[in-house]
Amino acid sequence: MLRAAHTTWKTDTGRQRRENEDSAFARAPLFVIADGMGGAQAGEVASKIAVEVFEGGLPDQGSPVQRLVECAQTANRRIYEISSTEHERAGMGTTLTAVYVGDSDIAVAHVGDSRAYLYRDGELARLTQDHTLVEELVRRGKLTEEQAAEHPQRSIITRALGIDPDVDVDTWTYAGRAGDVVLLCSDGLTSMINEEQIAAILSDDSGLDRAAERLIAAANDAGGRDNITVVLFRLEEAGGDAVTDEPTIVGLAPASPAPSGSDDGHPSGVAPPNTGNRAGSATLTAPRPAGTIAPPPESRKRASARLARTQGHARGSTGGPGGRGPGRFTKPLAVLLSTLIVAFLVGAGGYLASRQLFFIGTNSQGIVTIYRGLPYDLPLGIRLYESFYVSGVPAQFVPGPRRSVLLNHQFRSQSDAISLVHAAELGQLAR
């Protein structure tokens, strides 16, 4: 049977913050860390509410992960209610990472970009996944870890407690063993030093208390841009002597959650030509791109009228008196077939030509997307374009001065469109 022993925690305001908005709770078998956002007197309040809910104890019923999730959702509702009713605390929220030590494993519940790590046999393994814009781009293979570390939008989180009435909580269960060291930390640590540095510090045999001090010192030496909080404990077989500090609530770094979306293939802001109030048209979910769209192609009604006039002329000039000669149907049929063939060839040529045209817009979820074809919707739901590439960048995160340049539905080459969107993913449009 496992238990947590040799527990320690440390927190520091950092070198560039005036307030500490981190909170933590450490009392075996439960360990919690929360990183508040929303500014002083808001982020600090949110993180404290989160850990206070856990300090009150886990529910009696359910598995460890179910009990952790129930506490997280309770904290989310409390923070959301205060944020919604108290003007000075509107928009506050917090990350949350909670760990519960069971008889043979550890349960983890997680929201946001604080982290939990397991150090075993000289190897450091991350137990959580960040809910951030850049982490999503890394998971989708659009950024490397090195690029993510320097990305200008790396602080944008996509999930936190208190932002919405309900929250999705990620959970995991990991098998533990005696000698494992578990680290919980706010992003004030991981945004300053990398995992190799963390592992090197944890490899020192000078003890967990000294390791916590060295982790915070290393983050401050690297710039200390944020509050820094670490919680460390070592697992051992029950029966040994445990050294556990008293539980604490302490005070971290503001970040704004960003929406994420999925593509439905329809570029927001693409106007259907001459269709009136067509039901089912896409609603723009991000700032509408600047620029105008070229006039639509000739309508079907005019094309049909022209075809009818062509056929009428053919009928009036066929055969002998009254149109009863042996060539009564031959010439009209030949003209009709010729017209259809020409129309098909023109249409096919136009379609093939449009496959070489690309434009950039946003889909119905406001995500920057490359489309191939012409930026028009025809009646009966016919689209002259198709989704070619969906980025991981919401349009609202494209710098304002560049947004109208990027999202104007201007025709581009494939390479030009890809180059621009890739620059947006790397955060280089602001440069």
H or E segment to which residue 387 belongs: strand 382-394
Domain 2-237, classified CATH 3.60.40.10, yes or no: yes
Contact 286, 369 (CB under 8 A): no
Contact 108, 97 (CB under 8 A): yes
pTM for the predicted model, two decimal places? 0.60
What is the distance between the terminal CA atoms of the chain, rounded to a whole angstrom?
Answer: 55
* In 29-63, alpha helices (H): 43-55
Say whether 44 sits in a helix, a strand or coil: helix
Per-residue model confidence (pLDDT) at position 382: 76
Per-residue model confidence (pLDDT) at position 298: 38
Domain ranges for the chain, please list them: 2-237, 262-431
Per-residue model confidence (pLDDT) at position 329: 52
Q: Are strands 22-27 and 96-101 parallel, antiparallel or unpaired?
A: unpaired
What's the CA gap between 190 and 154, in Å, rounded?
12
Q: Which residues of the chain have pLDDT under 50?
A: 243-266, 268-326, 431
Amino acid at 151: H
What's the CA gap between 373 and 352, in Å, rounded?
9
Q: DSSP secondary structure string, 191-245?
A: TTS-HHHHHHHHT-SS-HHHHHHHHHHHHHHTT--S-EEEEEEEEEEBTBPP-BP
Contact 115, 100 (CB under 8 A): no
What's the CA gap between 190 and 229, in Å, rounded?
10
Per-residue model confidence (pLDDT) at position 274: 34
